[in-house]
Amino acid sequence: MKSYNSIEERIDILQSRIAAYKDEIETLETEPKSNNERIIFKFIETGSTGKTKDFVRELGIKSPRDSLYSSGDVSKLIKDGADDINPALLEIARALASARNKNGPSC
C-alpha cells in the first residue's frame, strides 16, 4: 500500500473515489435513450462483445453497414462512440473493454 504525507491526503483520495463511484452509479441507473446506449449498457452488463452482438441481433437492430451486428461492430461502437451515447456511459464501457484486454475480466 502506498504511503501518504498525511491522513488528510488519504481521506481526500478516498472521498474522490467515493464521488467517482457515485457518479458511475448515477450513470448506470439512467435508462438508455437510444439503441446505441442499449448496446453499450449490454456490453457493460456482460463484458462481452459476443454476448452483446447476440443481444443486438435478437432485437433486430442492423449495424451501420446495414447488416447483422458483429462483435467487431460492438467494439467499433465502443471505440469510436456515437453522438447519441452519454459520454460518461461510453467512458465506463471503454474502461471495461481496456481492463478486459489487458488483464482479463474486470469488475
Please write the tens of the pLDDT for every residue from 31-40: 999 999 999 9
Work out the mean pLDDT of the chain and round it to a whole number: 91
Confidence (pLDDT) at 4: 81
Question: Where in the chain are the domains?
Answer: 7-100
Long-range pairs, 53-61, Cβ under 8 A, ≥24: 59/35, 61/35
Confidence (pLDDT) at 3: 80
Q: How confident is the model at residue 1 (pLDDT cuts 50, 70, 90)?
A: low
**CA-based R_g, the chain, Å:** 17
| Count of C-beta atoms within a 10 Å radius of residue 65 | 9
Closest by Cα among 30, 76, 29 to 56: 76
Please write the tens of the pLDDT for every residue from 43-72: 999 999 999 999 999 999 998 889 999 999
